[in-house]
Structure 1
C-alpha cells in the first residue's frame, strides 16, 4: 500500500534505480500480499474450531497453536517466494526509461500462479465461512441452560470477532480477484499490438484495480469500528484516557441515563 502511494501518487520510483531495491520491492510486495490472506484463513480456522459443537475440538483454539501456525506459514511463504528475488530485475525499455519487473518468459508463470493461489485462498475462505456460519446457527438454537454447562462456548466478543472476520473475507474476495484476472489478461495479450487508446485504458485499469487490491489491507480498522461494539468501547476508552477523562464516570452517567429511560418507559399512566 505504501509503495503504491509513493509510485502512483508521488511518482517516486526508487526501485527502478537499484537492483537490490527492485528485488526487495517485488519480494516484500508478494510476501505481504500472500501472508495477509493466509492469516485470514488461519483466523477462519480458529473461529471454526471455537464454534464447533465438540468440546475437544474447541480446545484446539489456543494462542500457542495460533503462534505456531503463523510462524510455519510465514517461513513457508518466505521460502516459496524466493524465486521472485532471482527472477526480478531492472530492464531498459527505452533510453532513460527503466522498469523493475520480471523476465518476459517468467511473467506468465507469475500471473497464472498468482491467480491459482488467489482462487484457492478465496475458495478456502468461502468454505470455512460457511461451516463457521452453520456452527453459529446451531449454537444460537441451543437453549441457554444447556450453553452454560458447556466448556469454552462462544462469548459475545467471539460472535463480534466472527462477524468482523466474515467482513474481512468478503472484502478480500471482492477486491483481490480482479487484479489477478487483469494480470492473466495482460500475460495472454502481451504479444498483441496495442493502440494508444488501448494502452491508456489498460494503464487506467491497472492503476484502478491496484487501488482496489490494496483496500483489504487497510480496511481492518474500519471493519472493527463498524461491526464490533467491544472495539468501539475500547477505542473510546483509549481516546478518553489520552484526553484525561474518566471512562468509568462516563459509563456510570450513561448507565444512569439508561436506567432513567427504562423507569420512565415502565411507568403506567394513572387514569
Structure 2
C-alpha cells in the first residue's frame, strides 16, 4: 500500500470514528431532550404563549429530524449502508424531507424572534400581532411554504453511479446535473443558514432595543404584571440562547459550502479532496446539534423552564412512590 493510500485510509478512519460518536451523541441527546421539551412546553402556563408555540412546533420538526433523518445519515456515513439507493421514490422523498424539515425548524425559531419583537413593541397594534392566532397561522404557512421551496428536488434527485475519491464506483442517491447541484447548494445555504440567521440577528437586536426603550415604563409600573414580565424575560433568554446555538452549529457548515461552491472547478489532488470531504461530513453532522440540544439550552437559559422540568421530575417521583406504597399496603395482611 502506497503512502497516499495509507493517508487516505487514516483520514477515512478518523472521519468515520468522529462522525459515529457525533451521530450517536446527537441521537441520544435528541431523543431525551426533545421528549422533555414536549412535556414542558405543553404545560398550561406555557402552551398558549405564542413564543412557546413556535418552540413546540420546532421541537416536533427536530424530533422528526433526529428519529427519521439522522439514522439514515448514520448508516450512510458510518456503516456505508445507503438505504436511499434501493428505491428511487425513497431516494427523492428522504432527501426532500431532510432539506425542507431542517429549514422549517430554523424558520420556526426565526418566527419566535419576530414574535418577541412584536411583543416588546411600544405600538399597540404590533403587540396585538403577538398572539396565539398569529402563531398558528404562521406555523401553518411555514409548514406549507417549506415543501414548496424544495419541491424541485423531487425532480432532479436520482440514483446514479458515481466514483468515490478512492476510485471505486458505487450507486448513490445524488444529483447528476452540476448546474442544478450548485444552485441547490446556494439555495439551501440561503434558506437554511444565511436568511434565518440574518433575520434572527436583526430581530434579536430590535428586541433588545425595544427592551431598553421600555425600561422607564417598566420602572414606573414595577408592581404590575410582574409574573408576565418574568415569563417574557425567560422566553427571550431561551430564544437568544437558541439563536446562538444555531449560529455556532450551522455557521461553519455554511462557510464550508461557500468555499466548496467557489472551488468547485479547481483541480485538487486526491488527498485534498478526501480532506475536504471529511471536513464537510463532520461539519454536516455538527449542524445536527442545533436540532438535538434545544432542551439543554432551554434548561440552562430559562429559569421558568428549569422550574417546570424540576416540577415534572418531582411529580414523576411522587407518583412512583405512591405506587410503591400502594403495592406494599395491598400486600400487607389484614389483622383483626
Q: Spell out the pairing of 1:85-96 with structure 2 (5 A cutoff).
A: 85-94=154-163
Q: Check the 8 A contact 1:51/1:153 in 2, yes or no.
A: no
| Alignment-derived partner of residue 115 in structure 1 | 189
Secondary structure of 1:243's counterpart equals helix
The whole-number CA distance in structure 2 between the counterparts of 1:208 and 1:86 is 28
Q: 5+ unaligned residues in a row in structure 2: which ranges?
A: 1-65, 321-336
| Alignment-derived partner of residue 229 in structure 2 | 155
Q: 5+ unaligned residues in a row in structure 1: which ranges?
A: 247-271
The whole-number CA distance in structure 1 between the counterparts of 2:100 and 2:153 is 10
| 1:32-60 deviations in Å (ceiling 9; x for gaps) | 12101110111011111111123332222
| 1:181-201 deviations in Å (ceiling 9; x for gaps) | 323333433344332211221
Q: Indicate how the Cα distance of structure 1 residues 155 and 167 shifts in structure 2: closer, same or farther if over 3 A, else same.
A: same
Q: Indicate how the Cα distance of structure 1 residues 143 and 9 shifts in structure 2: closer, same or farther if over 3 A, else same.
A: same
1:126 aligned to 2:201? yes
Secondary structure of 1:92's counterpart equals strand
Q: Check the 8 A contact 1:147/1:153 in 2, yes or no.
A: no
Q: Indicate how the Cα distance of structure 1 residues 126 and 237 shifts in structure 2: closer, same or farther if over 3 A, else same.
A: same
Aligned pair count reads 245
Q: Check the 8 A contact 1:50/1:153 in 2, yes or no.
A: no
Structure 1's consecutive aligned runs of 4 or more residues displaced over 4 angstroms after TM superposition are 147-150
How far 1:160 moved relative to its partner? 0.7
- Of the structure 1 ranges 159-168 and 229-238, higher mean CA displacement relative to structure 2 is found in 229-238
1:172 aligned to 2:246? yes
Q: Check the 8 A contact 2:99/2:188 in 1, yes or no.
A: no
The whole-number CA distance in structure 2 between the counterparts of 1:237 and 1:109 is 49
User: Which among 225, 233, 236 is matched to residue 310 of structure 2?
Assistant: 236
- Of the structure 1 ranges 172-181 and 128-137, higher mean CA displacement relative to structure 2 is found in 172-181
Q: TM-score, normalised by structure 2?
A: 0.67
| 1:131-183 deviations in Å (ceiling 9; x for gaps) | 00111223334354435568x99520110111111111122122223223323
| 1:191-249 deviations in Å (ceiling 9; x for gaps) | 44332211221122012211221111112101111011111111111112222269xxx
| Alignment-derived partner of residue 99 in structure 1 | 172
User: Which among 215, 218, 221 is matched to residue 146 of structure 1?
Assistant: 221
How far 1:96 moved relative to its partner? 5.8
Q: Check the 8 A contact 1:108/1:184 in 2, yes or no.
A: no
